[in-house]
């Protein structure tokens, strides 16, 4: 395992895109963790009279690096706290969809038969609906809100993990080490989680990185449609949607959260993409 990660690290260093992605991700995590220290104001603090000030404006001894919004809150502080929301959203979506999706994929691939048929069919079905539409259906039932949006986006992301792991298990199932474990009398659970799963780690890491970016993007889209986080949560998609009416006079209110979303999504895609190139043995030796 240690060898695998040192190899992985070397691959990341070699791939410029993946490396850039990793740096941006670390920066993003750092900003999210340090938000309370770095923010000049609290995200909900309203400074009386400081309405829609442009970036770099000063107002009664207050300085606003990225300007203020329509009710006089400091945008920089809101964006910094927004990075916490996005980090939380991305992590939750990946954790939920990866753990549930992987387990389902392991069962479907290993046991085959009916469990495989039911699981695969369900996944096909989830994939038949466009992600945001499916999330809309779920949010329509559960009601709008950040937690429900996370649940919806996680369900939408399930098939990616399930299909990936299922295919991987099908390839591993008949290998000698699995048969040897069988002969040793190891239980199915032990074989699945201790023997087969570690061999699926590489594609799982790639999918987790891409899943993070999808999760952040989809949750922000739901926020933009008014179905995700609700005011006053400083969620980037929701902030963008609230700022629409002031777009012409105060474009920074729309542009700053938009750029934040783009950079975070892009950095996870860069990392995931670079890792896929590095870890895919088919691509690795291609000239």
Partner 1 sequence: MILFFGKKLLDMLLTLLGITFVCFLLIRLVPGDPVLLLIGERNMDPAAYAEAKQKLGLDQPIPVQFIKYVGQVAHGDLGTSVVSKSAVWDEFKERFPATVELSLVALFFATLIAIPLGILAAVKKNTFYDYFLMGTSLAGYSMPIFWWGLALILIFSVKLGWTPVSGRIALEYDVPVRTGLLLIDSLSSEIREAEGLKAFWSALQHLILPAIVLGTIPLAVIARMTRSSFLEVLGEDYIRTARAKGLKENRVIFIHAFRNALIPIVTTLALCFGTIITGAILTETIFSWPGIGKWIVASLTSRDYPAIQGGVFIIAVIIVLTNTLVDLIYIVLNPRMKKAMLK
Catalog residues that contact partner 1 under the rule CB under 8 A.
17, 121-122, 124-125, 128-133, 136-137, 139-141, 143, 213, 217, 220-221, 224-227, 237, 240-241, 244, 247-248, 251, 254-255, 257-259, 261-262, 265-266, 269-270, 273, 286-287
Rounded least distance, CB 128 to partner 1, Å: 5
Closer Cβ to partner 1, 3 or 248, answer by number:
248
Question: Are 104 and 164 spatial neighbours (Cβ–Cβ below 8 Å)?
Answer: no
Q: Where are the alpha helices (DSSP H) in the chain?
A: 2-14, 16-33, 35-38, 75-111, 113-128, 131-142, 146-172, 176-183, 188-190, 201-224, 236-243, 252-279, 281-284
Rounded least distance, CB 240 to partner 1, Å: 6
Rounded least distance, CB 1 to partner 1, Å: 30
Closer Cβ to partner 1, 53 or 139, answer by number:
139
Tell me how far apart the alpha carbons of residues 102 and 99 are, in angstroms, rounded to a whole number: 5
Q: Write out the H or E segment, with its range, that includes residue 53.
A: none
Rounded least distance, CB 234 to partner 1, Å: 16
- Tell me which residue has tokens 């996944």: 123
Closer Cβ to partner 1, 10 or 117, answer by number:
117
Q: Residue 144: left if φ>0, alpha if ψ -120 to 50, beta else—which one? A: beta
Q: Other C-beta atoms within 10 Å of 182: how many?
A: 13
Q: In angstroms, what is the C-alpha Rg of the chain?
A: 22
Closer Cβ to partner 1, 64 or 212, answer by number:
212
Closer Cβ to partner 1, 5 or 125, answer by number:
125
Rounded least distance, CB 68 to partner 1, Å: 19
């Amino acid at each position: 395992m240690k060898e695998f990660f040192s190899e992985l690290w070397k691959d990341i260093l070699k791939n410029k895109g993946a490396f850039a992605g990793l740096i941006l991700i670390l920066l993003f995590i750092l900003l999210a963790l340090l938000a309370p220290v770095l923010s000049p104001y609290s995200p909900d603090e309203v400074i009386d009279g400081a309405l829609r000030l442009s970036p770099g404006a000063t107002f009664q001894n207050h300085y606003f690096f990225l300007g203020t919004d329509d009710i006089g809150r400091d945008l920089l502080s809101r964006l910094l706290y927004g990075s916490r929301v996005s980090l939380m959203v991305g992590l939750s979506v990946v954790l939920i969809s990866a753990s549930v999706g992987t387990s389902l994929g392991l069962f479907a691939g290993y046991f085959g038969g009916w469990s495989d048929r039911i699981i695969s069919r369900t996944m096909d079905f989830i994939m038949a609906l466009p992600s945001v539409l499916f999330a809309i259906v779920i949010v329509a039932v559960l009601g709008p809100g950040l937690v429900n949006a996370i649940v919806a986006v996680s369900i939408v992301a399930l098939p990616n993990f399930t299909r990936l792991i299922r295919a991987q298990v099908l390839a591993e199932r008949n290998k000698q080490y699995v048969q040897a474990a069988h002969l040793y009398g190891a239980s199915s659970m032990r074989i699945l989680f201790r023997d087969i799963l570690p061999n699926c780690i590489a594609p799982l890491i790639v999918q987790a990185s891409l899943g993070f970016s999808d999760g952040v993007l989809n949750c922000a889209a739901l926020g933009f449609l008014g179905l995700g986080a609700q005011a006053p949560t400083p969620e980037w998609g929701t902030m963008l949607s609230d700022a629409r009416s002031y777009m012409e006079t105060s474009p920074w209110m729309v542009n700053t959260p938009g750029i934040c979303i783009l950079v975070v999504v892009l950095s996870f895609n860069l990392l995931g993409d670079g890792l896929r190139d590095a870890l895919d043995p088919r691509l690795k030796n291609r000239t």
